[in-house]
Structure 1
Amino acid sequence: MKRVERAKRGKAVKRVSRRRAAPRSLALGLAVAATAAAGTATVGTGATPAHAAACTGYVALTFDDGPSTTHTPALLNALRQNGLRATMFNQGQYAAAYPAQVRAQVGAGMWVGNHSYTHPHLTQLGQAQIDSEISRTQQAIANAGGGTPNLFRPPYGETNTTVRTVAAKYGLTQVIWDVDSQDWNGASTDAIVRAAARLTNGQIMLMHEWSANTLAAIPRIAQTLASKGLCSGRISPQTGRAVAP
C-alpha cells in the first residue's frame, strides 16, 4: 500500500409542553425510554447528543488511503468512541480488496469519497487514464457497499482542468483541504492536535488512516474541537465545505 503522500500542496482551491404534569414515575419512565431511544438512534453514527447540542460550527475530518484490515477497524473504533464522524477518501484498489471495511466505514456513520484507484499523479496522465482511475474507483466503492461517491480528492492534491472535468463527468465535487495535519510527513501527535486547533467553521482537515500518531491524536482532537464549539460534519457536494451532518 502506498503510504507516503508527497509534495502536498498547501491550502488549496483545496453545523411538550403539557397542560398537566405527568406523575413522577411516568415522567421517569419516559425519560428512560427517551434515553434508550436516543442511544439506538446514534448506533452506527458515532454522534454524541451532548456535542450536537453545543455545536456552533462544523469542520470536516478526512482520512485518505484506506481502507485496510490493518488500520481501518482501529480508526473507526477511535472515531466512534470520541463522537466523531469523518469522510474516508478510499483508494479504489483497496475498496475492491477489502469490501468489508468499506461497509464498516458506512456502518460506523462515516462518508466515503473517491481517492483514485492506484494513487497516481493524475496531472501527469492523459484524460483516458484519469477517467479510468476515477471511474473504476466509483465502481469499486459501490460494489463494496459504500454507495456512489459524490466527493473526490485527487492524490497529492494535484489537479488541473482535465482532472476537474473528468471528476465532474461522474458527478464528483473535488475536495482538497484547509489544514494539513502533516501526518504523512511524520508529524507528532502533538503537532497533529495543534493542526486541528487551527480549524474554523466550514474547514477541512487532511489526515491519513495509516498514521499511528493520527490515531493517537483522535481523543485530543475531539476535545480540542469541543472546546471551540466545533463538531465534525460532512462535506457538502454543493459547496465543498463542512456542514452539519
Structure 2
Amino acid sequence: MAMHRVLSTLLAASAVWARPNLGIRAPQVYDSCINANDISLTFDDGPYIYLRSISDQFTAAGVKATFFMNGNNWDCIYDAARISDVQYAYAAGHMIGSHTWSHADLTTLSNAQIQDEMYRMEEAFSRILGIKPAFLRPPYGDYNDNIQSIAAARGQSLAMWDWDTGDADGNTTAQSEALYNDVVSAKVSNALILEHETEESTATVLVPYALNLFKSKGYNLVTMAECLGVNPYQAVGVPQQQTSSWTCDGTPDPGAACGGSIACETGTPVFSSTTTTGPTATPTPNQYIHPSANSGDCLTAASNADGAVVEIEPCVAAGSTSQSWTVSGSTLQLYGTKCLDVTGGATANGTPMQIWTCTTGDANQQWTRTGGAIQWSGHSSCLDLTDGSVTSGNVMQIWACTGGPNQQWALTSGPGSGSTPPPTSGETISPGASSTTCLSAPTNADGAAVVVEACNGSAGQSWKQTGGTIVVYGSMCLDVTSGSTANGVGMQIWACTPGAGDANQQFTVTSNNRIQWNGSDECLDLTNGLLTSGNRVQMWACVAGNTNQVWNIV
C-alpha cells in the first residue's frame, strides 16, 4: 500500500496579520507566526513510530511541538500503539491538528469527499482525545477558496508554513540542517517550519539539532497556536471509550477518497463535552486538591473575593470552605460561586492563580484532567506548584505542561493526611448492572488479577475502605498494574504500602458511585460491560454516563 508524503511547496507570498488577542478567531489561512521571537516546529503525516521519541525530546527540552496527523496514511490512527502515542503526545502538552484522513489532494476531490476527509479526522480526535481541532494542514500544501470555505465552516483555519526542511522530499540531513542555519542567519523575527514525523532521520538527527540551535539563539520554541496567539482547539471535552467502530477498515486508503463502496461522511462527529447538563454531569462536591506527593497540604483560596490568590496551606482536618472544591463540568468551584481562574487569561509561564466569580463559558476557568495534571483547557499550560514548595502561602501558577511532579495533583474526599477515616467492615463491590456479581480477587498473591464473579461471600470479595485504599485479605490493596495510565490496563491486587501509601493504590469513591484513581482521570471500569465470570476489570478514562464505571458498595 503506497504511503503518501507531503510534497511541500514554499509559499511565495505571506499574509501580514495584526497581533491578535488570545482566543478563538475567525478561521483563516496562516502561513507564518505572528509573535516575535517564536519558532514553531511542526510535523506532518503521523501518527507513526517516531511520535513518542519526538515528543520526549521536546518535553526534555522544556518546549512544545505541533503534530498534524492523518487517520490512515503511514499507519492507522486506531491501532493500539498509535492511540497510545497520540494520547501520550497530547498529554505532554503538544498541539495536535488535522492533516486529513487519508492525505488525498483536496484540490482533486468533490465537496462531499473534502468533507469526508475532514470529518473522519475530527471523529478520530474526538474519540481518542476529546478535542475539536481548530487547525487543518491541507496535504501537499494545496488548497483553494472552496477548501478554505469548507474548512472555515467546520471551524478550522488552514495551517501552512514559511520554511520547509525538505526532509520528506529527499533532502539530506545536512541540507535540512542548512535550512535551520538559514533561519538563524536571516535573523528572522519568527518562523513556522515544516518537518515530517515519519522520517527516522528527522526524529534522530534533525530534532536534536534544531532544539539545540534555536534554544542557543534565544528563540521560544512553541506550538503553532502559541506563535499565533490563538487557541489550538475549538473545544476540549473528554475521550470516548473504545469500541469496534475504531478501525481503518472500510475507510479510504492512503491517498484515496470516499466513494463507491465507501460512503462519504459529511456531518458533525459525536463530541463528548465536559460541560454536559443533566444527571450525567452531577457535580462532585467536597474535593480537596493536594500535590500527589504531599497529601497534607491543600489548594486554598486566601479569601472569598474576586481576585483572591490560590495558594498552598496545610489541610484542615475538619474541613474548610476555602479548601473544599466542587468539580462541576470543566470548572473547579469554591464557595459555591467562585471558580479557579487564570489571572487575566495570561499564557505566560508563572501567571498566578486566583478565584473569580464563575461565568459560563469563561475560557480562563476551563480545566481538563490529563493524567495527574490539571490542564488549562485549550492550552498547553498546567496548574503548577510554584518552585515545588509546599510552604504555607505559596501562590500557585500556570506553567507549560511538563508532566513533572510539580504538576501532579490528587483530588480526594477529605484533606489528605488530616482526615483518614477508620477502616470499614467487609463490603462487597458490585457493578451497577448486577447486584449478584461481585468484584473479586480469586487468589491472595501480589499481581493477582481483579475480576468479576458471582457473589459467593468469600474473603476475596470482602473489601474494606481504609483511607484512600481498598483492601482485601486484610493486607492486599486494589492496585493499578505498573501505575500505567493507558486505557485498558488490567487491575490487580498488591501488598498494601503503609504510611503515605503507594500512588497506584489510592482511590476515591465519588458521589456518583465511581471508583476514581487519585491524581488521574481514570476510573475502575467493567471491561466491555461484560458480567462474565473471570472478566478482568480495567482502568479507563472517566466518562460521564458510562454505566461500566458505576459500582455499588454494600
CA contact (8 A) 1:58 1:202 kept: yes
> How far has the Cα of 1:240 moved from its partner?
8.5
If the length of structure 1 is used for normalisation, what is the TM-score?
0.74
Distance in structure 2 (CA, Å) of the matches to 1:237 and 1:131: 27
Q: Deviations over 1:151-202 (max 9, x none)?
A: 1100000000111011101111101111001000122222222222334333
Structure 1 residues 223 and 106: CA distance shift in structure 2, 3 A: same
SS at 1:187's partner residue? coil
Q: Deviations over 1:82-105 (max 9, x none)?
A: 333111000023333332221011
Pairing 1:236–2:237 present:
no
Pairing 1:64–2:44 present:
yes
If the length of structure 2 is used for normalisation, what is the TM-score?
0.34
Within a 5 Å distance, the mapping from 1:82-161 to structure 2 comes to 82-93=61-72, 94-97=76-79, 98-145=82-129, 147-161=131-145
The one-letter code of the counterpart of 2:222 is G
Q: Deviations over 1:1-35 (max 9, x none)?
A: 725323x2212667xxxxxxxxxxxxxxxxxxxxx
Aligned equivalent of 1:184: 168
SS at 1:137's partner residue? helix
SS at 2:38's partner residue? strand
Within a 5 Å distance, the mapping from 1:8-27 to structure 2 comes to 8-11=8-11
Distance in structure 2 (CA, Å) of the matches to 1:184 and 1:159: 20
CA contact (8 A) 2:39 2:227 kept: no
The one-letter code of the counterpart of 1:119 is H
> How far has the Cα of 1:227 moved from its partner?
2.9
Match of 2:197 among 192, 209, 212: 209
Distance in structure 1 (CA, Å) of the matches to 2:83 and 2:123: 12
Q: Deviations over 1:17-74 (max 9, x none)?
A: xxxxxxxxxxxxxxxxxxxxxxxxxxxxxxxxxxxxxx97111110001112x22122
Aligned residues: 203
SS at 1:134's partner residue? helix
Distance in structure 1 (CA, Å) of the matches to 2:3 and 2:150: 23
Aligned equivalent of 2:526: none
Distance in structure 2 (CA, Å) of the matches to 1:219 and 1:141: 28
Name which one, 1 or 2, has greater alpha-carbon Rg.
2
- Give the structure with the larger strand fraction: 2
Structure 1 residues 132 and 238: CA distance shift in structure 2, 3 A: farther
Runs of 4+ in 1 over 6 A off after TM superposition: 240-245
Distance in structure 2 (CA, Å) of the matches to 1:232 and 1:108: 15
The one-letter code of the counterpart of 1:85 is K
CA contact (8 A) 2:36 2:190 kept: no
Distance in structure 2 (CA, Å) of the matches to 1:147 and 1:203: 26
Distance in structure 1 (CA, Å) of the matches to 2:193 and 2:130: 22
CA contact (8 A) 2:165 2:194 kept: yes
> How far has the Cα of 1:146 moved from its partner?
5.6
- Give the structure with the larger helix fraction: 1
Match of 2:53 among 71, 74, 86: 74
Tell me the C-alpha RMSD between the 2 structures.
2.7
Aligned equivalent of 1:21: none
The one-letter code of the counterpart of 1:228 is K
Within a 5 Å distance, the mapping from 1:35-74 to structure 2 comes to 57-68=37-48, 70-74=49-53
Percent identity over paired residues: 27
Structure 1: tracts of 5 or more residues without a match: 15-54
